[in-house]
Chain A
Amino acid sequence: MCGIAGRILTSPGKVGNDLVELMDAQEHRGADSTGFAIYGLPRDEGYVLRGMGFDKSAMSADLDDFKNILHDHGSDFMDDMHIVTSHEQHYCFRMEIRDPKDLVAWVRDADAISHRIEIQSCGRTLEIIKDTGGAAEVAEKHKVRDMIGTHGLGHARLATESSVLPNASHPFWARPFSDVAIVHNGQITDYYTQKKHLERQGYRFLTENDSELIAVWVSDQIKAGMTVQQALTKSVSSIDGVFTFMIARPDGIGFAKDRFAMKPLVVIDQNGDLAAATEEQAVRRIFPNECDVINYDGPSLTGIWGVGNRSLAA
Chain B
Amino acid sequence: MSETVIEVGKRHIREINEEIQEACKKGDRIRVVNTLSRHNLGVGLPDGADITFEGSVGYFCGGLNTGSTLHIERNAGWALGEGMAKGMITVEGYAGMSVGAAMIGGTIHVKGDTGPRCGVAMKGGNIVVEGKIGYQSGFMAHSGKIIALGGAGDSCADALWQGEVWVAGEVSSFGVDVNIVEPTAEEVAEVDAILEPLGLVDSSRNWRKMISGQRLWYFESRDASAWLMI
Chain A residues proximal to chain B, CB less than 8 Å:
261, 264, 279-281, 283-284, 288, 290, 293, 295, 297-299
Do residues B36 and A297 form an inter-chain contact, with CB atoms below 8 A?
Answer: no
Among B56, B115, B135, B153, which residue has its beta carbon within 8 angstroms of that of A293?
B56
Closest residue of chain B to A281, judged by CB? B37
Known contacts A261-B116, A284-B36, A290-B55; decide if A279 and B77 are in contact (CB<8 Å). Answer: yes
Report how far A290 CA is from B35 CA in the complex, Å: 10
Report how far A47 CA is from B104 CA in the complex, Å: 59
Closest residue of chain B to A263, judged by CB? B97
Do residues A298 and B58 form an inter-chain contact, with CB atoms below 8 A?
Answer: no
Q: Which residues from B are CB-within-8-Å of A295?
A: 75, 94, 96, 115
Q: Which B residues from 42 to 87 make CB contacts under 8 A with A?
A: 55-56, 58-59, 74-75, 77-78
Do residues A298 and B78 form an inter-chain contact, with CB atoms below 8 A?
Answer: no
Closest residue of chain B to A261, judged by CB? B116
Report how far A288 CA is from B36 CA in the complex, Å: 7
Do residues A290 and B115 form an inter-chain contact, with CB atoms below 8 A?
Answer: no
Do residues B39 and A298 form an inter-chain contact, with CB atoms below 8 A?
Answer: no
Report how far A144 CA is from B65 CA in the complex, Å: 42
CB distance from A5 to the nearest CB of B (A): 14
Report how far A28 CA is from B135 CA in the complex, Å: 27
Do residues A264 and B96 form an inter-chain contact, with CB atoms below 8 A?
Answer: yes
Among A283, A290, A297, which residue has its beta carbon within 8 angstroms of that of B116?
A297
Residue B177 CB within 8 A of the other chain? no
Q: B151-194 toward A: CB 8 Å interface, digit per residue (1/0)? A: 00110000000000000000000000000000000000000000
Residue B134 CB within 8 A of the other chain? yes
Report how far A299 CA is from B59 CA in the complex, Å: 19
Would you call the interface of chain A mostly helix, strand, loop, or mixed? loop
Chain B residues proximal to chain A, CB less than 8 Å:
36-39, 55-56, 58-59, 74-75, 77-78, 94, 96-97, 115-117, 134-136, 153-154
Do residues B36 and A281 form an inter-chain contact, with CB atoms below 8 A?
Answer: yes
Report how far A297 CA is from B135 CA in the complex, Å: 9
Q: Which residues from A are CB-within-8-Å of B58?
A: 279-281
Report how far A293 CA is from B94 CA in the complex, Å: 9
Closest residue of chain B to A28, judged by CB? B39
User: Which of B37, B74, B154 has its CB near the most chain A CB atoms (within 10 A)?
Assistant: B37
Do residues A290 and B74 form an inter-chain contact, with CB atoms below 8 A?
Answer: yes
Do residues B37 and A299 form an inter-chain contact, with CB atoms below 8 A?
Answer: no
Do residues A281 and B153 form an inter-chain contact, with CB atoms below 8 A?
Answer: no
Do residues A284 and B97 form an inter-chain contact, with CB atoms below 8 A?
Answer: no
Q: Which residues from B are CB-within-8-Å of A280?
A: 37, 56, 58, 75, 77
Report how far A235 CA is from B55 CA in the complex, Å: 36
Q: Which residues from B are CB-within-8-Å of A299?
A: 116, 135, 154
Report how far A279 CA is from B77 CA in the complex, Å: 8
Do residues A297 and B56 form an inter-chain contact, with CB atoms below 8 A?
Answer: no
CB distance from B205 to the nearest CB of A (A): 25
Q: Which residues from B are CB-within-8-Å of A284?
A: 36-37, 56
Report how far A299 CA is from B136 CA in the complex, Å: 10
Report how far A264 CA is from B37 CA in the complex, Å: 14
Q: Which residues from A are CB-within-8-Å of B36?
A: 281, 284, 288
Would you mind naming 11 contact pairs between A and B with Cβ atoms under 8 Å apart?
A264-B96, A279-B37, A279-B58, A280-B37, A280-B56, A281-B37, A281-B58, A290-B56, A295-B94, A297-B134, A299-B154
Q: Which residues from A are CB-within-8-Å of B77?
A: 279-281
With A261-B135, A295-B94, A297-B97 given, can you name 16 additional A-B contacts, CB distance below 8 Å? A261-B97, A261-B115, A261-B116, A261-B117, A261-B134, A264-B96, A280-B37, A280-B75, A281-B39, A281-B58, A283-B37, A290-B56, A295-B96, A297-B134, A298-B115, A298-B153
CB distance from A236 to the nearest CB of B (A): 13
Closest residue of chain A to B58, judged by CB? A281
Do residues A261 and B96 form an inter-chain contact, with CB atoms below 8 A?
Answer: no
Q: Which residues from B are CB-within-8-Å of A281?
A: 36-39, 58, 77
Report how far A155 CA is from B39 CA in the complex, Å: 19
